[in-house]
Structure 1
Amino acid sequence: MDYFQNALYTYDRYHLKTWIKQALSNRSKQERQRVYEAADAHDPSAMLAAIAEAEKAETDVEKQAEIAGLREFILENQEAFRDYRERLKEKGVDTSGMRPMGSAESNMNLMSKRLKKNGYSWSRSGLGAMVNAMIHLFEGTLVDVLRPFATDRVSEEETPKGMPSMAHFLKQKTQESIGARSGRLPALEGRDQTKPFALALRGLTGLSEL
Protein backbone atom coordinates (compact mmCIF):
# COMPACT_ATOMS: atom_id res chain seq x y z
CA MET A 1 0.00 0.00 0.00
CA ASP A 2 2.96 2.33 0.59
CA TYR A 3 4.18 1.72 -2.96
CA PHE A 4 0.80 2.31 -4.66
CA GLN A 5 -0.24 5.33 -2.62
CA ASN A 6 -2.86 6.50 -5.12
CA ALA A 7 -4.33 3.05 -5.79
CA LEU A 8 -7.93 2.11 -5.02
CA TYR A 9 -8.37 -1.06 -3.01
CA THR A 10 -11.50 -3.17 -3.32
CA TYR A 11 -12.59 -6.26 -1.42
CA ASP A 12 -13.02 -9.41 -3.51
CA ARG A 13 -16.66 -10.50 -3.45
CA TYR A 14 -15.66 -14.17 -3.50
CA HIS A 15 -14.11 -13.84 -0.04
CA LEU A 16 -16.89 -11.52 1.09
CA LYS A 17 -19.64 -13.98 0.15
CA THR A 18 -17.72 -16.84 1.73
CA TRP A 19 -17.59 -14.85 4.97
CA ILE A 20 -21.30 -13.95 4.71
CA LYS A 21 -22.26 -17.58 4.17
CA GLN A 22 -20.21 -18.70 7.16
CA ALA A 23 -21.34 -15.93 9.53
CA LEU A 24 -25.02 -16.23 8.60
CA SER A 25 -25.06 -20.03 8.39
CA ASN A 26 -27.82 -20.22 11.03
CA ARG A 27 -29.97 -17.65 9.25
CA SER A 28 -32.47 -18.27 6.46
CA LYS A 29 -31.57 -18.40 2.79
CA GLN A 30 -33.61 -15.23 2.23
CA GLU A 31 -31.58 -13.33 4.84
CA ARG A 32 -28.29 -14.37 3.24
CA GLN A 33 -29.66 -13.53 -0.21
CA ARG A 34 -30.42 -9.97 0.90
CA VAL A 35 -26.79 -9.49 1.90
CA TYR A 36 -25.53 -11.12 -1.32
CA GLU A 37 -27.66 -8.81 -3.45
CA ALA A 38 -26.43 -5.75 -1.56
CA ALA A 39 -22.84 -6.91 -2.12
CA ASP A 40 -23.47 -7.38 -5.86
CA ALA A 41 -24.97 -3.88 -5.96
CA HIS A 42 -21.82 -2.46 -4.29
CA ASP A 43 -24.05 -1.01 -1.57
CA PRO A 44 -22.30 -1.21 1.83
CA SER A 45 -25.17 0.62 3.57
CA ALA A 46 -27.69 -2.01 2.43
CA MET A 47 -25.29 -4.76 3.46
CA LEU A 48 -24.90 -3.28 6.93
CA ALA A 49 -28.67 -2.97 7.34
CA ALA A 50 -29.32 -6.59 6.29
CA ILE A 51 -26.49 -7.94 8.46
CA ALA A 52 -27.67 -5.91 11.46
CA GLU A 53 -31.15 -7.45 11.17
CA ALA A 54 -29.65 -10.95 10.98
CA GLU A 55 -27.44 -10.18 13.99
CA LYS A 56 -30.44 -9.00 16.00
CA ALA A 57 -32.45 -12.12 15.13
CA GLU A 58 -29.59 -14.55 15.90
CA THR A 59 -30.01 -16.39 19.22
CA ASP A 60 -26.70 -18.26 19.25
CA VAL A 61 -24.18 -16.12 21.16
CA GLU A 62 -21.13 -17.32 19.21
CA LYS A 63 -22.84 -16.83 15.86
CA GLN A 64 -24.07 -13.42 16.92
CA ALA A 65 -20.48 -12.41 17.70
CA GLU A 66 -19.38 -13.75 14.31
CA ILE A 67 -22.03 -11.70 12.52
CA ALA A 68 -21.02 -8.64 14.56
CA GLY A 69 -17.41 -9.10 13.42
CA LEU A 70 -18.53 -9.15 9.78
CA ARG A 71 -20.67 -6.05 10.28
CA GLU A 72 -17.85 -4.13 11.99
CA PHE A 73 -15.39 -5.02 9.23
CA ILE A 74 -17.73 -3.74 6.52
CA LEU A 75 -18.48 -0.61 8.56
CA GLU A 76 -14.76 0.20 8.87
CA ASN A 77 -14.01 -0.50 5.19
CA GLN A 78 -17.09 0.78 3.38
CA GLU A 79 -15.11 2.38 0.54
CA ALA A 80 -13.63 -1.00 -0.39
CA PHE A 81 -17.13 -2.35 -1.03
CA ARG A 82 -18.28 0.47 -3.31
CA ASP A 83 -18.16 0.22 -7.10
CA TYR A 84 -14.61 1.19 -8.05
CA ARG A 85 -15.94 2.98 -11.14
CA GLU A 86 -17.98 5.36 -9.01
CA ARG A 87 -14.94 6.04 -6.88
CA LEU A 88 -12.87 6.79 -9.99
CA LYS A 89 -15.57 9.11 -11.35
CA GLU A 90 -15.33 11.11 -8.15
CA LYS A 91 -11.64 11.60 -8.99
CA GLY A 92 -12.47 12.82 -12.50
CA VAL A 93 -11.60 9.58 -14.32
CA ASP A 94 -13.62 8.54 -17.39
CA THR A 95 -14.91 5.01 -16.69
CA SER A 96 -17.11 4.57 -19.77
CA GLY A 97 -15.06 1.63 -21.04
CA MET A 98 -14.53 -0.09 -17.69
CA ARG A 99 -16.27 -3.27 -16.62
CA PRO A 100 -17.68 -3.98 -13.15
CA MET A 101 -15.44 -5.78 -10.70
CA GLY A 102 -16.34 -9.46 -10.42
CA SER A 103 -15.20 -12.20 -8.07
CA ALA A 104 -11.57 -12.48 -9.15
CA GLU A 105 -10.55 -15.19 -6.70
CA SER A 106 -13.25 -17.62 -7.86
CA ASN A 107 -11.93 -17.29 -11.43
CA MET A 108 -8.26 -17.85 -10.63
CA ASN A 109 -8.45 -21.35 -12.11
CA LEU A 110 -9.50 -19.84 -15.45
CA MET A 111 -6.72 -17.25 -15.34
CA SER A 112 -4.19 -19.89 -14.37
CA LYS A 113 -5.29 -22.17 -17.20
CA ARG A 114 -4.95 -19.38 -19.76
CA LEU A 115 -1.56 -18.17 -18.53
CA LYS A 116 0.14 -21.39 -17.42
CA LYS A 117 -1.44 -24.52 -18.90
CA ASN A 118 -1.91 -25.77 -22.46
CA GLY A 119 1.51 -24.48 -23.47
CA TYR A 120 0.58 -20.82 -23.08
CA SER A 121 3.00 -19.87 -20.30
CA TRP A 122 4.06 -16.24 -20.58
CA SER A 123 7.72 -15.29 -20.90
CA ARG A 124 9.07 -12.17 -19.20
CA SER A 125 9.53 -10.48 -22.56
CA GLY A 126 5.99 -11.36 -23.65
CA LEU A 127 4.52 -10.10 -20.39
CA GLY A 128 6.58 -6.92 -20.69
CA ALA A 129 5.29 -6.35 -24.23
CA MET A 130 1.69 -6.78 -23.08
CA VAL A 131 2.20 -4.37 -20.17
CA ASN A 132 3.69 -1.78 -22.54
CA ALA A 133 0.72 -2.18 -24.88
CA MET A 134 -1.74 -1.71 -22.00
CA ILE A 135 0.12 1.38 -20.77
CA HIS A 136 -0.07 2.99 -24.22
CA LEU A 137 -3.74 1.97 -24.50
CA PHE A 138 -4.62 3.66 -21.20
CA GLU A 139 -2.58 6.75 -22.09
CA GLY A 140 -4.22 7.05 -25.51
CA THR A 141 -0.91 6.72 -27.40
CA LEU A 142 -1.30 3.18 -28.73
CA VAL A 143 -2.21 4.19 -32.29
CA ASP A 144 0.83 6.47 -32.52
CA VAL A 145 3.12 3.72 -31.24
CA LEU A 146 1.68 1.11 -33.60
CA ARG A 147 1.72 3.31 -36.68
CA PRO A 148 5.37 2.54 -37.67
CA PHE A 149 4.60 -1.18 -37.47
CA ALA A 150 1.52 -1.04 -39.69
CA THR A 151 1.62 -2.95 -42.99
CA ASP A 152 0.08 -0.02 -44.85
CA ARG A 153 2.07 3.08 -43.93
CA VAL A 154 -0.01 6.11 -43.07
CA SER A 155 1.39 9.55 -43.78
CA GLU A 156 1.59 12.10 -41.01
CA GLU A 157 -1.14 14.19 -42.69
CA GLU A 158 -3.64 11.32 -42.90
CA THR A 159 -5.85 10.12 -40.10
CA PRO A 160 -5.53 6.34 -39.59
CA LYS A 161 -8.72 4.54 -40.65
CA GLY A 162 -8.23 1.74 -38.18
CA MET A 163 -5.90 0.60 -35.45
CA PRO A 164 -3.00 -1.58 -36.69
CA SER A 165 -2.82 -5.16 -35.52
CA MET A 166 -1.63 -5.60 -31.93
CA ALA A 167 0.60 -8.43 -33.19
CA HIS A 168 2.88 -5.92 -34.89
CA PHE A 169 3.53 -4.28 -31.55
CA LEU A 170 3.89 -7.40 -29.44
CA LYS A 171 6.05 -9.42 -31.81
CA GLN A 172 9.60 -8.38 -32.63
CA LYS A 173 11.78 -10.03 -35.25
CA THR A 174 14.73 -11.64 -33.49
CA GLN A 175 16.54 -13.37 -36.39
CA GLU A 176 16.48 -13.77 -40.14
CA SER A 177 14.49 -16.62 -41.64
CA ILE A 178 16.65 -19.68 -42.31
CA GLY A 179 14.24 -21.42 -44.65
CA ALA A 180 12.55 -24.79 -44.26
CA ARG A 181 13.79 -27.20 -41.62
CA SER A 182 14.08 -30.91 -42.18
CA GLY A 183 12.15 -33.04 -39.76
CA ARG A 184 10.04 -36.14 -39.25
CA LEU A 185 6.68 -37.13 -37.86
CA PRO A 186 6.96 -40.21 -35.63
CA ALA A 187 3.28 -40.95 -36.16
CA LEU A 188 3.98 -41.67 -39.84
CA GLU A 189 6.61 -44.29 -39.08
CA GLY A 190 5.66 -46.08 -35.87
CA ARG A 191 2.97 -48.58 -35.02
CA ASP A 192 0.36 -45.80 -35.09
CA GLN A 193 0.83 -45.17 -38.81
CA THR A 194 -2.37 -47.05 -39.71
CA LYS A 195 -4.56 -45.11 -37.29
CA PRO A 196 -6.99 -42.46 -38.64
CA PHE A 197 -5.03 -39.44 -37.39
CA ALA A 198 -1.82 -40.80 -38.94
CA LEU A 199 -3.60 -41.45 -42.25
CA ALA A 200 -4.91 -37.88 -42.17
CA LEU A 201 -1.38 -36.57 -41.60
CA ARG A 202 -0.06 -38.68 -44.47
CA GLY A 203 -2.71 -37.18 -46.70
CA LEU A 204 -1.73 -33.65 -45.69
CA THR A 205 1.96 -34.32 -46.33
CA GLY A 206 1.35 -35.93 -49.71
CA LEU A 207 2.55 -39.34 -48.50
CA SER A 208 -0.78 -41.10 -48.79
CA GLU A 209 0.41 -43.08 -51.77
CA LEU A 210 3.67 -44.22 -50.10
Structure 2
Amino acid sequence: LNRQAVFNQVQDYLDQNYDLRATIMITGSDNGSGYEPSCFDELAVGAKKHEHFLDRYHLNRKIRSRLSKMPKILQSKLFQGVHNWDNDQVQIVLDTCEFQANDADSLEAIQLLRSYLKRNWNYLKPANKRSLATETVCLGGCESNHRRFTYRLKHQGRSWSKAGLKAMIAVITSEINGQLETAMIKMTNTLPISIMPVKVAASYFLKQPFTQHQGIRHGSISLDAATSSAMGNLVKAIS
Protein backbone atom coordinates (compact mmCIF):
# COMPACT_ATOMS: atom_id res chain seq x y z
CA LEU A 1 0.00 0.00 0.00
CA ASN A 2 3.08 2.25 0.09
CA ARG A 3 5.14 2.47 -3.09
CA GLN A 4 8.25 3.87 -1.41
CA ALA A 5 8.15 1.17 1.26
CA VAL A 6 8.05 -1.48 -1.48
CA PHE A 7 11.02 0.11 -3.27
CA ASN A 8 12.95 0.10 0.01
CA GLN A 9 12.17 -3.58 0.53
CA VAL A 10 13.31 -4.40 -3.00
CA GLN A 11 16.54 -2.46 -2.44
CA ASP A 12 17.22 -4.38 0.77
CA TYR A 13 16.51 -7.70 -0.98
CA LEU A 14 18.88 -6.88 -3.83
CA ASP A 15 21.65 -5.80 -1.46
CA GLN A 16 21.34 -9.00 0.58
CA ASN A 17 21.08 -11.48 -2.29
CA TYR A 18 23.04 -10.10 -5.25
CA ASP A 19 26.44 -8.73 -6.04
CA LEU A 20 25.17 -5.98 -8.32
CA ARG A 21 28.68 -5.31 -9.58
CA ALA A 22 28.38 -8.53 -11.57
CA THR A 23 24.67 -8.22 -12.38
CA ILE A 24 22.83 -6.87 -15.39
CA MET A 25 19.56 -5.48 -14.06
CA ILE A 26 16.56 -5.40 -16.38
CA THR A 27 13.50 -3.43 -15.29
CA GLY A 28 10.17 -2.59 -16.88
CA SER A 29 7.17 -0.40 -16.06
CA ASP A 30 4.52 1.79 -17.67
CA ASN A 31 6.76 4.80 -16.86
CA GLY A 32 3.86 6.41 -15.02
CA SER A 33 4.10 8.65 -11.97
CA GLY A 34 6.20 6.98 -9.28
CA TYR A 35 7.47 4.35 -11.71
CA GLU A 36 9.64 6.48 -13.98
CA PRO A 37 12.98 5.06 -15.20
CA SER A 38 14.79 7.26 -12.67
CA CYS A 39 13.10 5.35 -9.82
CA PHE A 40 14.58 2.11 -11.12
CA ASP A 41 17.96 3.77 -11.68
CA GLU A 42 18.10 4.21 -7.91
CA LEU A 43 17.56 0.47 -7.43
CA ALA A 44 20.31 -0.28 -9.92
CA VAL A 45 23.02 1.84 -8.33
CA GLY A 46 26.27 -0.13 -8.49
CA ALA A 47 24.95 -2.64 -11.03
CA LYS A 48 27.15 -3.79 -13.90
CA LYS A 49 24.47 -2.57 -16.31
CA HIS A 50 20.88 -1.40 -16.11
CA GLU A 51 18.39 -1.65 -18.96
CA HIS A 52 14.88 -0.27 -18.56
CA PHE A 53 11.98 -1.14 -20.88
CA LEU A 54 8.59 0.47 -21.39
CA ASP A 55 5.99 -2.19 -20.70
CA ARG A 56 4.57 -3.50 -24.00
CA TYR A 57 1.08 -4.00 -22.63
CA HIS A 58 0.69 -0.31 -21.84
CA LEU A 59 2.44 0.70 -25.07
CA ASN A 60 0.08 -1.36 -27.23
CA ARG A 61 -2.96 -0.11 -25.34
CA LYS A 62 -1.82 3.50 -25.80
CA ILE A 63 -1.36 3.06 -29.56
CA ARG A 64 -4.76 1.41 -30.01
CA SER A 65 -6.46 4.09 -27.94
CA ARG A 66 -4.84 7.06 -29.71
CA LEU A 67 -5.35 5.61 -33.20
CA SER A 68 -8.83 4.21 -32.59
CA LYS A 69 -10.29 6.27 -35.46
CA MET A 70 -7.49 5.46 -37.89
CA PRO A 71 -7.50 2.58 -40.43
CA LYS A 72 -6.22 -0.74 -39.09
CA ILE A 73 -3.44 -0.80 -41.67
CA LEU A 74 -1.92 2.37 -40.16
CA GLN A 75 -2.10 0.88 -36.67
CA SER A 76 -0.32 -2.25 -37.95
CA LYS A 77 2.36 -0.16 -39.64
CA LEU A 78 2.96 1.79 -36.45
CA PHE A 79 3.19 -1.39 -34.37
CA GLN A 80 5.72 -2.71 -36.86
CA GLY A 81 7.81 0.48 -36.77
CA VAL A 82 7.86 0.54 -32.96
CA HIS A 83 8.69 -3.18 -32.76
CA ASN A 84 11.62 -2.70 -35.15
CA TRP A 85 12.64 0.53 -33.41
CA ASP A 86 12.42 2.27 -36.77
CA ASN A 87 11.87 5.95 -36.01
CA ASP A 88 11.60 6.91 -39.70
CA GLN A 89 8.70 4.52 -40.25
CA VAL A 90 7.01 5.67 -37.03
CA GLN A 91 7.18 9.32 -38.09
CA ILE A 92 5.85 8.53 -41.59
CA VAL A 93 2.87 6.68 -40.13
CA LEU A 94 2.13 9.49 -37.66
CA ASP A 95 2.39 12.10 -40.43
CA THR A 96 -0.07 10.06 -42.51
CA CYS A 97 -2.46 9.79 -39.57
CA GLU A 98 -2.35 13.53 -39.01
CA PHE A 99 -3.11 14.10 -42.70
CA GLN A 100 -6.12 11.76 -42.51
CA ALA A 101 -7.47 13.09 -39.22
CA ASN A 102 -10.86 14.65 -39.88
CA ASP A 103 -11.58 16.26 -36.51
CA ALA A 104 -9.75 18.13 -33.77
CA ASP A 105 -10.00 15.29 -31.24
CA SER A 106 -8.33 12.79 -33.58
CA LEU A 107 -5.56 15.25 -34.41
CA GLU A 108 -4.91 15.93 -30.73
CA ALA A 109 -4.79 12.18 -29.98
CA ILE A 110 -2.16 11.64 -32.69
CA GLN A 111 -0.05 14.54 -31.42
CA LEU A 112 -0.23 13.15 -27.88
CA LEU A 113 0.86 9.75 -29.18
CA ARG A 114 3.80 11.32 -31.01
CA SER A 115 4.93 13.02 -27.78
CA TYR A 116 4.47 9.79 -25.83
CA LEU A 117 6.62 7.79 -28.24
CA LYS A 118 9.31 10.49 -28.36
CA ARG A 119 9.43 10.66 -24.57
CA ASN A 120 9.77 6.89 -24.20
CA TRP A 121 11.72 6.06 -27.37
CA ASN A 122 14.93 4.99 -25.64
CA TYR A 123 12.95 2.53 -23.51
CA LEU A 124 11.40 0.92 -26.60
CA LYS A 125 14.75 -0.28 -27.93
CA PRO A 126 14.53 -4.07 -28.39
CA ALA A 127 16.66 -6.36 -26.24
CA ASN A 128 18.60 -7.69 -29.25
CA LYS A 129 19.71 -4.13 -30.03
CA ARG A 130 20.98 -3.62 -26.49
CA SER A 131 23.46 -6.51 -26.61
CA LEU A 132 21.14 -8.60 -24.43
CA ALA A 133 20.55 -12.26 -25.15
CA THR A 134 16.84 -12.31 -26.06
CA GLU A 135 16.29 -15.77 -24.61
CA THR A 136 17.16 -14.40 -21.15
CA VAL A 137 14.77 -11.45 -21.38
CA CYS A 138 11.16 -12.22 -20.48
CA LEU A 139 9.41 -8.89 -20.20
CA GLY A 140 5.79 -8.50 -19.12
CA GLY A 141 5.73 -11.35 -16.62
CA CYS A 142 5.31 -8.95 -13.72
CA GLU A 143 2.44 -7.13 -15.42
CA SER A 144 0.54 -10.34 -16.20
CA ASN A 145 0.86 -11.41 -12.57
CA HIS A 146 -0.36 -8.00 -11.39
CA ARG A 147 -3.56 -8.61 -13.33
CA ARG A 148 -4.41 -11.55 -11.09
CA PHE A 149 -4.90 -8.94 -8.38
CA THR A 150 -6.05 -5.84 -10.26
CA TYR A 151 -8.92 -7.58 -12.09
CA ARG A 152 -10.36 -8.60 -8.74
CA LEU A 153 -9.53 -5.52 -6.70
CA LYS A 154 -9.62 -2.45 -8.96
CA HIS A 155 -12.40 -2.70 -11.51
CA GLN A 156 -16.10 -1.79 -11.37
CA GLY A 157 -15.53 1.04 -8.90
CA ARG A 158 -14.55 -1.24 -6.04
CA SER A 159 -13.15 0.25 -2.85
CA TRP A 160 -11.62 -1.45 0.18
CA SER A 161 -10.55 -0.81 3.71
CA LYS A 162 -6.86 -1.54 4.31
CA ALA A 163 -7.72 -4.62 6.35
CA GLY A 164 -10.10 -5.91 3.68
CA LEU A 165 -7.61 -5.23 0.89
CA LYS A 166 -4.82 -7.08 2.71
CA ALA A 167 -7.14 -10.02 3.35
CA MET A 168 -8.17 -10.26 -0.32
CA ILE A 169 -4.53 -10.04 -1.46
CA ALA A 170 -3.64 -12.84 0.97
CA VAL A 171 -6.48 -15.00 -0.38
CA ILE A 172 -5.54 -14.43 -4.04
CA THR A 173 -1.83 -15.01 -3.38
CA SER A 174 -2.53 -18.19 -1.43
CA GLU A 175 -4.83 -19.49 -4.16
CA ILE A 176 -2.15 -18.90 -6.82
CA ASN A 177 0.45 -20.68 -4.67
CA GLY A 178 -1.84 -23.61 -3.90
CA GLN A 179 -1.95 -22.73 -0.21
CA LEU A 180 -5.48 -21.36 0.11
CA GLU A 181 -6.78 -23.89 2.66
CA THR A 182 -3.78 -23.39 4.94
CA ALA A 183 -4.03 -19.62 4.66
CA MET A 184 -7.76 -19.58 5.44
CA ILE A 185 -7.23 -21.66 8.58
CA LYS A 186 -4.42 -19.36 9.68
CA MET A 187 -6.48 -16.23 9.00
CA THR A 188 -9.48 -17.64 10.86
CA ASN A 189 -7.34 -18.29 13.93
CA THR A 190 -5.76 -14.85 13.95
CA LEU A 191 -8.63 -12.53 12.98
CA PRO A 192 -10.54 -11.04 15.95
CA ILE A 193 -14.16 -12.18 15.90
CA SER A 194 -16.68 -10.30 18.02
CA ILE A 195 -19.97 -11.79 16.78
CA MET A 196 -22.45 -12.46 19.61
CA PRO A 197 -24.68 -15.50 18.97
CA VAL A 198 -28.40 -14.71 18.95
CA LYS A 199 -31.03 -17.44 19.28
CA VAL A 200 -34.00 -16.73 17.05
CA ALA A 201 -36.56 -19.29 15.90
CA ALA A 202 -36.73 -19.80 12.14
CA SER A 203 -40.48 -19.24 12.27
CA TYR A 204 -39.76 -15.63 13.22
CA PHE A 205 -38.38 -14.97 9.75
CA LEU A 206 -41.15 -16.92 8.02
CA LYS A 207 -44.02 -15.02 9.57
CA GLN A 208 -45.85 -12.63 7.32
CA PRO A 209 -46.36 -9.35 9.18
CA PHE A 210 -49.99 -8.28 9.56
CA THR A 211 -50.92 -5.48 7.21
CA GLN A 212 -54.15 -3.47 7.44
CA HIS A 213 -56.02 -3.79 4.14
CA GLN A 214 -58.70 -1.54 2.78
CA GLY A 215 -61.95 -3.47 2.47
CA ILE A 216 -64.06 -3.63 -0.69
CA ARG A 217 -66.27 -0.65 -1.23
CA HIS A 218 -69.63 -1.14 -2.89
CA GLY A 219 -71.35 1.47 -5.02
CA SER A 220 -73.79 1.99 -7.84
CA ILE A 221 -74.47 4.43 -10.64
CA SER A 222 -77.80 6.18 -10.45
CA LEU A 223 -79.75 6.24 -13.69
CA ASP A 224 -81.74 9.37 -14.55
CA ALA A 225 -82.44 8.32 -18.11
CA ALA A 226 -84.24 5.62 -20.06
CA THR A 227 -82.82 2.10 -19.79
CA SER A 228 -82.50 2.01 -23.58
CA SER A 229 -80.25 5.08 -23.62
CA ALA A 230 -76.43 4.97 -23.82
CA MET A 231 -76.18 5.55 -20.05
CA GLY A 232 -78.77 2.86 -19.43
CA ASN A 233 -76.78 0.35 -21.51
CA LEU A 234 -73.59 1.25 -19.55
CA VAL A 235 -75.33 0.66 -16.22
CA LYS A 236 -76.58 -2.74 -17.41
CA ALA A 237 -73.06 -3.69 -18.64
CA ILE A 238 -71.29 -3.05 -15.32
CA SER A 239 -73.99 -4.07 -12.85
Shorter-chain-normalised TM-score: which range?
0.3 to 0.5
By percentage of residues, which structure has more strand? 2
What's the TM-score once normalised by structure 1's chain length? Answer: 0.44
Structure with the greater relative contact order (CA < 8 A, sep ≥ 6): 1 or 2?
A: 1
Structure with bigger helix share is 2
